Amino acid sequence: MLPASYGISEAKNVKKMKVAIVGATGLVGTKMLEVLAERNFPVTELIPVASERSVGKEVEFKGKKYKVVSATDAIAAKPAVAIFSAGGGTSLEWAPKFAAAGITVIDNSSAWRMDPTKKLVVPELNADALTKEDKIIANPNCSTIQMVVALNPLHKKYKVKRIVVSTYQSVTGTGVKAVTQLMNERKGVQGEMAYKYPIDLNVIPQIDVFLDNGYTKEEMKMVNETRKIMRDDSIRVTATTVRIPVVGGHSEAVNVEFENDFDLAEVKQLLSRAPGVVVVDDPSTQQYPMPKDAHDKDDVFVGRLRRDETQPNTLNMWVVSDNLRKGAATNAVQIAEYLLGQKLI
């Protein structure tokens, strides 16, 4: 659980907490089930939901098997909360139907993130904005989440002015098909391609489609979502997002310019005390965050902290997190924990 200061209780004495997972058979949906179990979220009845072709299949949760049902049947079961990870099209079609039935939706797709009527939430930053009236809550993009968690304590102290970020993103961000492509290529096996190009022994400087301005959709997600989550439209963000042959864990090189000057020792202290952040930064012993060390962990790891010597008030940092956990499943479950702790569901 997050610290009690966030209003998240242990949620004891909860009489009934039906939880639906929409997209339960997918990569992120499976991880959501793991995280719910690990964090002991008080699920009294699980309602796994997937596409029509998966209805009737079984998923396991805490040693018990549950049959996958349709979205219509899930609404009829009236869960308190539905966590979606089934793609934007599914969310646009079904989230309003769940919400109309009084079910709180936490959506992991990009469908609602920039909707001005919907909250885009990272609990460490802005869960306080949530109310009982928020029936569709957006979970941010994985690469945005880890960056803002690392920047938030520094923004409070020095005020972020401009961010230049380059990402090194795992194939799990694309899904099972991409993981299969990478593993096939490593074995020399021909198979279905998730990407236009080989990913093994390669780097692909494109995540999602290109937009008219020459940036990809993923890059513009980072620009727009960062401003919305940090509640500051004056922050300038420019991003380059890159896919690398790693299974699990996104890495980011972040160059951040502040309004005010900083002390490097104080920066490390602020980050060390920040919820959800772990500092791994000792050049003398070659200690820095790497994706393999973040695997299956919920924290955001920060290292390579150093001044940008080319201009004032500017810091370089290296940020790593497990994209399926804090970047998706864990953040969504933390939102549910907050809602429960504040009696908003």
Active-site amino acid positions: 142, 250
Structure tokens at 206: 């494109």
How many residues does the structure list for the chain?
345
Structure tokens at 210: 């290109």
Burial class from Cβ neighbours inside 10 Å (0-12, 13-18, 19+) for residue 143 reads: buried
- As a whole number of angstroms, the distance between CA 105 and CA 83 comes to 6
